[in-house]
Amino acid sequence: MPLSRRSFGGKPLLAGIFISLLGAALLYAFADAFLARPRELFFDALIQAVGAPETDRLLVVDVDQRSSQAAPGETWGRAQSAGLIDALTRAAPAAVALDFVFSSNCDPADPANRALADAISRVPTILGFLVGDDAERAPQPVPELAVQRPVAIPDLWFIEGAEASCPLFQNRSAAAAAAFLVGDGDALVRRVAPYAIVGNVPYPALALEAARRAADVATPVLGGTPAWIRLDGRLLRLDDDGNLRFAASDAARIARRTVSAIDVLNGDVPAERIRGKLVLVGSSLPTLGGLRASASMPLEPSVQIHADVATAILSGFIPLRDRRLVPAEAAFALLAGICGALAVTRLRPTYAATVGTGLILATLAGAALVYRESGLLVDAPTIAMVLAAALLVTGILKFADVRRAEQTARQRFGQYLPPSVVSRYLDNPGLERVGGEERQVTALFTDIADFSGLSHRIGPQRLVALLDIYYREVNTLVTEHGGMVNKVVGDAVHALFNAPEDLDQHVDRAVDCALAIRALTEEMRHRPQFAEAGFGRTRIGIETGTVVLGDIGTGSTLDYTAHGEAMNVAARLQEVDKLFGTGICIGPAAAAEAARPLRSLGIHEIRGIAPMEIFTPLEEAPVSGAPAGGPDGPA
């Protein structure tokens, strides 16, 4: 069987494919520019929902409110910091990273400064620095870095100056590192630059340098276009802007890796929790540490953000949004959109909605699976938007197609059934069959004289063309007069009046309809194509009576029809017309209820029924040469 365009959904499917193609093209070309915020919010939710590996090689020491309150004057100072570092040193950590910048009061004679400098010198200590105005004095000491060319240095790594700790402390430390954090456009800190370049001197981020020392990694290697960083045999994955993304920890995870500074000072933290580990020291107090917004909480201590970055480096699980995924995302969006459009055009609405929803959920679930297994961040929201757009446009056009088809059905079936019947079935597709209903109806049957001879003379193709015109115009008259075309059988039209709904003066409406049909068909016989074929006159029979009306049959043979003696009499009366030379014969029951004047044709026996008086409208005259009274024998 040949397949037409309509069999595959026609215009709705083509529109769905076009929208999928357009959406995929826009995703490929502009998604990063125009949909960055919703994509980042999805990535935040995805990272928080799926989580990331933890590491047991890291400990955060928090100078919290308890620690500050235990200090003299309830103020944590450099003497307390020196004591804290000494307490940590006794437990032999791998390295200590300080998220504090001691940039003021640099007097070497100050006992607190000397104590802090001595404490820093006894353990590998990394001092953080911030962005500042001092472009003359670079932070010290500068950690080692090997460069493999060619290399493309991201512009975001360059800063104009730095605010570093006092030289007294820098000279005793193991390395200087960048401790500042830069948020995205919505102020959330999601990623850090792995290096900051001050006066053409590169400094690692605090978390990068701390993790490198904790893992006992040799000199890092920077290279590549775009840039990459290698720690021994492991490559750190940077995004397209040269940043390291991290998974922000929730409160429970932060609590598991954090101890209070006062507990360390009091010896309440077992040495095993510190020995050989990277220790990051900072504060959750606004007066001592930086509080920044992250994907996990509105105010997260900056030391905890550094710990999140160090965890990503130590565990090897670094979330990455790679633009090289975009072509694959665009191709998947196109394929998903086409599948969704096919579902809408080929399936029932509930099934199509289920498939569409399933595709969107599968896209989101697939993105979660890819992230869990590889750390790659797939732009599921934009793919889902393309898919939703294809489903919506296809669905709207499909609905419009269905509405057009429904309107066509109403118009075509309206030629055979009253609008109420058509609406009952089209508006209620689950409606059960209408059982037999007894009601009085007026039946009108038509017949074309010498139809057999006509079919032999002109052949089936010409006959069908003429009948198409004949039925269309006759059926329209029936509907206009309030009747229902019950059947078209061969050359006959079977019509009912007062069915399936009440019709006032249904007998007179049927007689008026018969007169209109007679006038129409006589005019039709003089049209060239009908006259050339010798198209016969139309004979009509009308009778009224009680019939059983409803859906008859089962399955594919279900038929809405009427059964009763009035139907049989009307069928016989249209045969009587040829005997009297009339065009319309009316039975006695119909004549008794008619308001318009009728002329009696006498009592005659109807074949297979009984003798009865037959009438015709006064407007009807017998054909020339036919007897006005008709024959005396049975019709």
The CATH code of the domain that includes 611 is 3.30.70.1230
Do residue 34 and residue 57 come from a single domain? no
Across 367-373, average pLDDT: 95
Do residue 374 and residue 302 come from a single domain? no
- Non-local (6+) Cβ contacts of 80 within 8 A are 63, 67, 71, 261, 265
Residue 1 pLDDT grade (very low, low, confident, very high; cuts 50, 70, 90): very low
Question: Measured between alpha carbons, how far is residue 397 from residues 4, 205, 623 in Å?
Answer: 18, 55, 56
Does the structure show a pLDDT above 80 at 186? Answer: yes
Of 357, 375, 410, which closes a domain? 410
Q: What is the DSSP letter of 567?
A: H
Do residue 183 and residue 108 come from a single domain? yes
231 located within any domain: no
Cα–Cα distance, 6 to 402 (Å, whole number): 12
Residue 255 pLDDT grade (very low, low, confident, very high; cuts 50, 70, 90): very high
135 located within any domain: yes
Do residue 28 and residue 139 come from a single domain? no
Q: Is 267 helix (H, G, I), strand (E, B) or coil?
A: coil
Do residue 533 and residue 603 come from a single domain? yes
The reply to whether omega before 500 is within 30° of 0 (cis) is: yes
Q: Is residue 535 within 8 Å of 525, Cβ to Cβ?
A: yes
Do residue 558 and residue 579 come from a single domain? yes
Does the structure show a pLDDT above 80 at 7? Answer: no
Model confidence pLDDT, tens digit, residues 29-40: 887 777 888 899
Cα–Cα distance, 413 to 484 (Å, whole number): 10
The tokens for 228 are 């990459």
Of 280, 315, 350, which closes a domain? 315
Do residue 494 and residue 442 come from a single domain? yes
pLDDT recorded at residue 532:
93
Do residue 258 and residue 292 come from a single domain? yes
Do residue 452 and residue 573 come from a single domain? yes
Residues of the domain holding 119? 53-144+157-218+245-315
Does the structure show a pLDDT above 90 at 619? Answer: no
229 located within any domain: no
Of 315, 333, 364, which closes a domain? 315
113 located within any domain: yes
The tokens for 572 are 């016989």
Across 96-115, average pLDDT: 95
The tokens for 599 are 């002329």
235 located within any domain: no
Do residue 304 and residue 191 come from a single domain? yes
Across 370-386, average pLDDT: 94
Model confidence pLDDT, tens digit, residues 525-557: 999 999 999 999 999 999 999 999 876 655 555
Place of tokens 């007069």: 481
Residue 265 pLDDT grade (very low, low, confident, very high; cuts 50, 70, 90): very high
Do residue 480 and residue 548 come from a single domain? yes
183 located within any domain: yes
Do residue 511 and residue 374 come from a single domain? no
DSSP characters for 27-90?
Answer: HHHHHHHHSHHHHHHHHHHHHHHH-----SSEEEEE--HHHHHHSGGG---HHHHHHHHHHHHH
Number of domains composing the chain:
3
The tokens for 551 are 């859906």
Residue 486 pLDDT grade (very low, low, confident, very high; cuts 50, 70, 90): confident
Q: Is residue 308 within 8 Å of 247, Cβ to Cβ?
A: yes
240 located within any domain: no
Across 168-183, average pLDDT: 96
Chain mean pLDDT for the chain: 89
Radius of gyration of the chain from its Cα atoms, rounded to whole angstroms: 46
166 located within any domain: yes
